[in-house]
Amino acid sequence: MAVAGLYRRILPSPPAIEFASSEGKELFSEALQSGTMEGFFRLISYFQTQSEPAYCGLASLSVVLNALSIDPGRKWKGPWRWFDESMLDCCEPLERVKAEGITFGKVACLAHCAGAKVEAFRTTQSTIDDFRNHVKKCASSEDCHLITSYHRKHFKQTGTGHFSPIGGYHAGSDMALILDVARFKYPPHWVPVSLLWEAMDTIDETTGHPRGFMLISRLQTPSLLYTLSCKHENWISTAKFLTEDVPNLLKSDDLKCVPEVLSLIFESLPANAGEFIKWIAEVRRQEENGSSLSTEEKARIAVKEEVLKQVHETKLFKFVTNCIYSASSQCENLSSLSDKDSLPEIAANVCCQGAEILAGGLGARAEFCCKATCVRCLKSNGDDPTTIISGTVVSGHNEQGVDVLVPSSPKNTSDRCNSCPCSIVVKHPASNDILTVLLLALPPQTWIGIKDEKLSSEIQALVSDENLPVVLREEVLHLRRQLHFLKRYPTRCHIKSGSNKTCSIGSSTPKTLENPSLADVLSGVSSPFEVPEAPCICSITSMRTGTRFTLPRKNRRWGRLPNLLIQLASLQMTSTLDSVCS
């Protein structure tokens, strides 16, 4: 009887050489003698198969993070903390990755969130010689690993874009060992470095940017309490506001004092700006530890509370707090932020998130409904009280009890009540400390446009990271690196259809691109524009000349459009485009 489905693929050889073949074994033995297989043993110890057809980026990163012995700081299953694909969800919803895959920039973003040091290079930012040197370096070390993003067609393999870690290098034949995480499809194999470079030097049709490689090591301190999130669809506008709009706003002649500076920024915040920076809570199942905290849980919550305490002690925090609560009634965006600061409001949302994580993070958020929550304080053995949100979350016919450990600190000692620990009034992460940290994380050059010298000096002193306590400074610098990375590697773009069925690049109405060449834009030299997810584009009209170019039917799907735009740009047909949908 016929069985539906596919059982693996035959590895096209040449150009690849199967790792387990006699020739592959010989290459391995020679490379081992040469010292360029040192990273292999760490990687192979944690090598895994991607659990979904589109999870190659997540699986590659899981392998590398575990090989580097980076602690995720949260539980995977049972008592174990371990990186799994389901835990790599801080930059992109897993359901979207499952359906569409993940881009180069988002994988790098995930590595940052996980606490790794990341150096990412698109092929336009490197050379084949540099790449070869990086492969040699990582293959000769246990402390740094390399993940490549490439197109399979250059190896005569089926499929398109793919991520996999590099497990070794053979200098004599100039070949790299690809540890293909799609083990259901192809085994590990050796490929020529020159051909691997060609496979990376291709355009990712989702973003219009070239692929590349990234070096991942464990030298960076992970987020302790705060992290940037690009899961919400408006993250691009928030990142742009922080890095581009804020410096321009600060050039105003009318700014005379710190409250005016903060008010100007806060009143201009994009909608849903609060979705861009999150505080990190620890989640556990209610039955795991009963009413007690483990030593490790106590240690982690203590570090988070120390960060929170240090934020509250900054001078900037006092200015931000006064500004927020004096302006929130007039400013809709600030009002929406402060509305979410109550623990009951936090409880329902965070318990649903916790249940999703404990379930493997694979479900849509809408599938989880918080049936009931309560906020309680846990105090034992003379320890400081810990705030816990307990909730019962319903998913289908299943119920899950969830505990969320909330970092908090007493407002003052007079608020303590020994007879009733639940009466303790606490400060938990809220919009004022989140915005304080976000301001501290902005690049130093953000503030140089302030014209009043005295005000400029005062602001510079408030936002300087030089005098911050060590733990808070590391947290701020980590967020700053994340923000820089998101700005440098924009990854998801959209085109929005207007009522007249005209889809313009970057907005719902036709927009003129001021860049000199679309080839520059698409290669990432200039700032990127938003690209379409529209189902079909039939023609492109030059707004400069009025010339209309009708696309061949085979090119009408968006996936084929970036290369076509590059061709049009190279023919000097247009520098400003309005794409028209059928």
Annotated catalytic residues are 56, 162, 180
Residue 368 to residue 471: CA distance in whole angstroms: 35
128's torsion region: left (phi>0), alpha (psi -120 to 50) or beta? alpha
- Residues 6 or more apart from 228 whose CB is under 8 A from it? 113, 276, 277, 278, 479, 482, 483, 486
Q: List beta partners, residue 80.
A: 77
Residue 245 to residue 66: CA distance in whole angstroms: 39
* Pairing outcome for strands 175-178 and 189-192: antiparallel
Query: Hey, how many other C-beta atoms are within 10 angstroms of the C-beta on 243?
Result: 17
Is 99 in a helix, a strand, or coil? helix
Is 371 in a helix, a strand, or coil? strand
- Residues 6 or more apart from 270 whose CB is under 8 A from it? 234, 237, 238, 241, 333
The one-letter amino acid at 46:
Y
- Residues 6 or more apart from 437 whose CB is under 8 A from it? 226, 277, 311, 475, 476, 479
Residue 254 to residue 233: CA distance in whole angstroms: 33
Residue 312 to residue 409: CA distance in whole angstroms: 10
CB 264 within 8 A of CB 252: yes
CB 44 within 8 A of CB 167: yes
